[in-house]
Structure 1
């Protein structure tokens, strides 16, 4: 198996303080670029409304990985699906991708909202979101992700 070593390029500052399944919307946080990267690496990013951010589930443990089929969130109403059908920390590399909205750029700080990573999360990579690089053709999925994620992007201030 090939090994791949990566270093974080930035860190999430503020925003969510604990891991939760739902009510991820409306929370502002900062993606702070590491000092080793010159500011010009961000030049022009403020012209984009959204980013594509790859990050690591840094609070997950290697023993959290589950290489078997299971029902999403342990809910027996939803079908048993394999490890690579889930988008959580139980996958081998414990990586996630999010598309937060970019609000403002101040030096090394990218102020974003709707980033579902917690304070202290290492950012592996970031790029502007290009519409042209999004899915081509019709997007299809079974019903269960829509049911499971019905409250995912609700405003965090509405959390019961």
Structure 2
């Protein structure tokens, strides 16, 4: 199996300070582009409402990886599903993709909201979100992701009990 190295291009500054399953909404943070990249690499990004962010679960440990089926959040209401059916840090490469709203750009800083990463998270890639590159055709999914996420995932963080 081939391996490769990836160098972070940016770091999340501020926003969430601890890893939590819910109440991700309404938190502003900064994606700070590293000095290695010239400012013109961000030229034009302010024209977009959302960005695609690939990031690493940097607080996860290799022993957190689970290569077996289990119920989401270990809740027996939901069916056991495999590792690649979950969107959490228990994946082999511990990578995530998020689509935060872009509020503004200030030099190397992208001000975003609704980024479900924590302060200090390494960002591996940033791209504008193109509607035409989203899912094509009818999107299908079982009921459990909606049940799990609609409850409180994007609820405002300041409403956290």
TM-score category by the smaller chain? over 0.9
**CA distance in structure 2 between the aligned counterparts of 1:20 and 1:86, rounded to whole angstroms:** 16
SS in 1 for 2:32: strand
Residues 43-88 of structure 1, C-alpha deviation per residue, up to 9 Å, x if partnerless?
Answer: 0000000000000000000000000000000001100000000000
Within a 5 Å distance, the mapping from 1:48-67 to structure 2 comes to: 48-67=48-67
The alignment's TM-score, normalised by the length of structure 2, stands at 0.99
Within a 5 Å distance, the mapping from 1:140-155 to structure 2 comes to: 140-150=140-150, 151-155=152-156
Pair 1:156 & 2:157 matched: yes
Deviation at 1:111, TM superposition (A): 0.2
Q: Which residue of 1 aligns with 2:89?
A: 89
The alignment's TM-score, normalised by the length of structure 1, stands at 0.99
Deviation at 1:2, TM superposition (A): 1.1
**CA distance in structure 2 between the aligned counterparts of 1:153 and 1:19, rounded to whole angstroms:** 14
**CA distance in structure 2 between the aligned counterparts of 1:41 and 1:146, rounded to whole angstroms:** 36
Deviation at 1:4, TM superposition (A): 1.7
Q: Which residue of 2 aligns with 1:27?
A: 27
Q: Which runs of 5+ in 2 are unaligned?
A: none
CA RMSD of aligned residues (A): 0.4
Q: Which residue of 1 aligns with 2:79?
A: 79
**CA distance in structure 2 between the aligned counterparts of 1:79 and 1:58, rounded to whole angstroms:** 28
SS in 2 for 1:79: coil
Deviation at 1:5, TM superposition (A): 0.8
Pair 1:7 & 2:7 matched: yes
Q: Which residue of 1 aligns with 2:44?
A: 44
